[in-house]
Structure 1
Amino acid sequence: MFIDILQRDMPPVFVAYYCDPSNRQCDSCGHKKPGPPNRIHGDQMFDFTFGDITVTRIVEMEMPMLGATTFFPEWNDAAIEPHRDWLIPRHFDPASGNVVINIQAFLVRTPRHTILVDTCVGNHKPRNREMFDNALFPWMDNFLALGVAPEDIDYVLCTHMHVDHVGWNTKLEDGRWVPTFPNAKYIFARTELEFWKQQSEQDQMTRTGDYIVDSVVPILEAKQEVLVDMDHQLDDGLTLQPLPGHTPGMVGLNINSGGAEAILCGDMMHHMIQCHIPDWSTLACADMEAARVTRKAFLDRYADTDVTIVPSHFPNPTAGLIVPHGDTFGFRYIGE
């Protein structure tokens, strides 16, 4: 397996801001206020190279964000006690009771194409969750700092259509939501899009707001979407991998190049505790049992192999290997 890691020299700290929801032109509205503490530092900008394919993380935010006992209905003190040594403080903040979540996108560069996988929360968007509502994240500045422009993106792949994976699909321009990446084909699993179109029609977006309207529908109106099967081959060495459960049409991206293999596995698991306790699905899963089945099969398949696993929400450095741990599994970060 050949994996090169290049640490990028980025500014040391990025701060999220939140703007006055009454004014959509937030860059000049003068109503910005600092957001909650964000753990993003310069050492979180890495290139992972697999053969001739490079993956770069573009972090939007990392912080203790979700109440553990709410997000994981089965979370309890007795169950986590054996794991406290690695949980705290990197993965769990006992003071707030929140698990640490990283929201990020992945820039994938092949010899032929430039691909953006998942697009975080985005800016200026009305959301029910305060930290997402009308946010002003410096994500686009970080994207541009990599030497790419929105016009350079050939494909945008959304592993699934949750609020933190579709936000930068669109941007606000003259009061309208338009595609952020004007030359890109937006790759959606057909099964996933159909599911969320039905959900939107049934008004089941009360938890996070109807982000489909501002972050997916404008792509359809611009006719930039490409609907694919869940095992679609996107490019040489890039193939979608079905991972249903968290949502019905969720996919990962399998990277196979130059003798190295990696999987961007979306929200197949949100947190390292799910390696150790695979039975735990989250409140955000559309089908908790199907998510559990998919996760267990995935862990069984890739444990004790040299396949690099890249979950969407694991904290810095995100990527690692699934390792046996007693009668269950663990996760070892790359470089540790």
Structure 2
Amino acid sequence: MKQTILRRDFIRTTTIAGIGAAVLNNLPRSFGRSVLQNEMRVGIIGLDTSHSVAFTKSLNTPGKAAELQGFKVVAAYPKGSNDIESSVKRIPGYIEDVKKLGVEIVGSEEELLKKVDVVLLETNDGRPHLEQALKVIKAKKPFFIDKPVAASLSDVISIYESAKRNNVPIFSSSSLRYMESVQDVVKGKAGAVLGADTFSPATLEKTHPDLFWYGIHGVEILFSVMGTGCSEVRRVHTNNTDIVIGTWKDGRVGTFRGTRTGTHDYGGTAYGEKGNITLGPFKGYDNLLVQILEFFKTGKAPVVPEETLEIYAFMEAADESKRKSGATVSIESVIQKATKR
């Protein structure tokens, strides 16, 4: 699906798949070797999410697991959201939490980038992510960008395009992708996946597109087991639940159910040729952290950019379907619209 992407000082024709391939194929060959020589200094941007504290505890606590060795969080820039209360009120407490773990608090992103080798971009608010990511990319620091990648599909595309142009490794994923049961499906224990149903909370945040804020978790589970290739999306609403129905190019159907009330449960079912696998439960962040550290070692993202871009296009198409009273919306149409902004 080709689109013309206009971004500030350049116009070029590309494909979603091309974005991903270019990022992976143009990494510096010496990257993996150089970062393995010494303990890598990890910097965190954003102390307004529990992820920042969880990652720091795992990396900075003595006696950590072997797969977490060789990395330490050394600095953090705490500023996160300006106006999301649930994020802003966390910052003072999280500053104290990471300081107790030996982390230096710095006054700017630029100061942080001078002190670290790699970056965890953790700001809970996706709106400043483009500006923050561009600073990291300019500094040539490989980075993990936590959910949501951005607060618009257009910004998501811009971040990945900029990383590609500058040969900077980038990786994003929900921790739900690395639940053991989901990875069982990825490894083929259910055989070829014929379809899947997933669910997660989908709490609303007025500053973000509907599913970008929290529905991303269940959508990421869906794409983890179904793979890429969704062509169209339809969304329906019933009883405090939004259901998004995706049709893949090969005819398979995958659904995401976003719950608006109740407990924070995550899971679903993958339907395979060898049988069905129940997805869940979520047990913590360390499985994702292991993947992030391997990414920092190699410069190769375990989730290719085209899959991440399709996930956000899926959520944008779900919003567009809602605006159109449940009409079917193509993935290609929302990507084309986002690239014209």
TM-score bracket for the superposition, by shorter chain length:
under 0.3
Greater share of helix residues, 1 or 2? 2
Greater relative contact order (Cα 8 A, min sep 6): structure 1 or 2? 2
Taking structure 1 as the reference length, the TM-score comes to 0.28
Greater share of strand residues, 1 or 2? 1
Taking structure 2 as the reference length, the TM-score comes to 0.27
